[in-house]
């Protein structure tokens, strides 16, 4: 009986931790990308989630030898729903960002 309770609890916990959104940067235009999604159960701050997405954007651009330039962003704190955020950005050549 304890094993069954543990399995049910684990299944519910994993289900609550699932978040939906993009799986990394998505190309949405010429040299324009976005990352967006919902926070998990304990992600209450949409602003903190947005910061995580900007970190992913920075890493993505750096992996291409480029610099990330923010274009637009939105976020919503958790309330009756999960927190959410979206960031749009461009990756530009590092030399171009110094001009």
Phi, psi angles (nearest 5°) of residue 2? -65, -35
Q: Which residue has the tokens 């602003």?
A: 47
pLDDT tens-digit readout, 22-79: 788 999 998 899 999 999 888 889 999 999 999 999 999 999 999 999 999 999 999 8
- 59's enclosing H/E stretch is helix 46-63
Q: Hey, how many other C-beta atoms are within 10 angstroms of the C-beta on 98?
A: 7
Tell whether the model's pLDDT for residue 5 goes beyond 60.
Answer: no
- Among 82, 18, 89, which residue's Cα sits nearest to residue 59? 89
Per-residue model confidence (pLDDT) at position 96: 55
pTM > 0.85: yes or no: no
Number of C-beta neighbours around residue 69 at 10 A = 14
Place of tokens 């990756």: 91
């Amino acid at each position: 009986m304890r094993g069954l309770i543990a399995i049910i609890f684990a299944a519910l916990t994993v289900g609550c931790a699932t978040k939906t959104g993009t799986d990394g940067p998505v190309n949405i235009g010429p040299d324009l990308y976005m990352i967006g999604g919902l926070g998990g159960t304990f992600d209450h701050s949409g602003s903190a989630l947005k910061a995580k997405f900007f970190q992913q954007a920075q890493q993505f651009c750096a992996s291409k030898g480029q610099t990330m330039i923010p274009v637009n962003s939105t976020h919503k704190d958790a309330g009756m729903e999960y927190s959410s955020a979206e960031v749009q950005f461009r990756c530009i050549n590092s030399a171009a960002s110094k001009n």
